[in-house]
Amino acid sequence: MVERKRIELAAQEIFGQYIQNEDNSTYNFTNMFIWSGDGFITYGLTDDCLVLFFQGKKQPLSVSYPVGKGDKRAAVLNVSSFLEEQGFRPVFRNLSDYMVKEMEAIFPGCFEFIEDRNTADYIYETEKMITLSGKKLHAKRNHFNYFKNNYSYEYKTLTQADMPACMALFDAWVAEKGGEEDMTASRNAAVKLLEHFDELPVRGGGIYIDGKLSAFSIGEPVSEDTALIHVEFALDYRGLFNVINSEFCAHEWTDFKYVNREEDMGLPGLRQTKLAYRPAYLLEKFNAVQIKPLS
């Protein structure tokens, strides 16, 4: 029996024991902590492995691939049985390519692996995010230059003391969007991230126009060569998103070859924006659906 537990801040140390140098944003503690909501994402331990459980109003209970140095075979068997006992077909979500290969080697022919394009992480070269060099980023560079030529601004590294201003900016950003979508989950995630800024392994940067915070971004290192960007918000100034993106990378992430800007969630506008920045590659993710009994 696998016990499902809420992802509280105290679980950060537990996650650190099982997950290191993992570029897949699904397995990042900060990500899971701020988006766990009312039990939408939980975790459990089995066979010296950690697993994540996912369940929403319209999404049946499913699980991540086990991570850690324990017995993956036993962990998959236990989790699969747990899902079946709860009345759900065993589905393992958000597997990286190496996880797919490992799972197929352990259980050959027992799972169908289906790519989920909506959850693929966008990985960019940090240097290109800073310089916006090359013909393919010409339009982004034009917006960047327009902002720099028309506004006097200052970049600052953020501290916990700046978090109330970040929250006010987030609410102003939502107001600018005109309530076009339900932002409750996003606001709840932002609140958790900002309230626990000093307790999480994150860094933040902000753009100030005339002394007022007008854009901010928060991220963290996740592996030896990759940083993960959790949030990025900017008021409606032409080129400001380009500037906070570039300046944040320039001031905080020059020691990392790549920045992971997470998935597009299948949103057409967000996908277009992320593709326009010309990712170095997409970190593909797969769902594993059990099609044969495990043995």
Is the CB of residue 12 less than 8 Å from the CB of residue 33? yes
Q: Is pLDDT at 80 greater than 80 in this prediction?
A: yes
Q: 179 pLDDT band (50/70/90 cuts)?
A: low
* Confidence at residue 270, expressed as pLDDT on a 0 to 100 scale: 94
pLDDT of 180 > 60? The answer is no
Q: Which domains does the chain have, with CATH numbers?
A: 5-116+285-290 (3.40.630.30), 121-262 (3.40.630.30)
pLDDT for position 58: 82
Question: What φ, ψ does residue 252 adopt, rounded to 5°?
Answer: -120, -25
Q: What is the pLDDT of residue 192?
A: 96
Residue 182 predicted with pLDDT over 80: no
Percent of the chain with pLDDT over 90: 92
Vertex 138, ends 225 and 279: CA angle to 5°?
30
- The closest alpha carbon to 153, from 276, 235, 227, belongs to 235
Residue 156 CB neighbour total at 10 angstroms: 15
Q: What are the pLDDT digits (tens) for 37-59?
A: 878 999 999 999 999 999 988 88
- The mean per-residue pLDDT over the stretch 21-47 comes to 95
For residue range 92-118, list pLDDT tens digits in order.
999 999 999 999 999 999 999 999 999
pTM for the model stands at 0.95
pLDDT at 139: 95
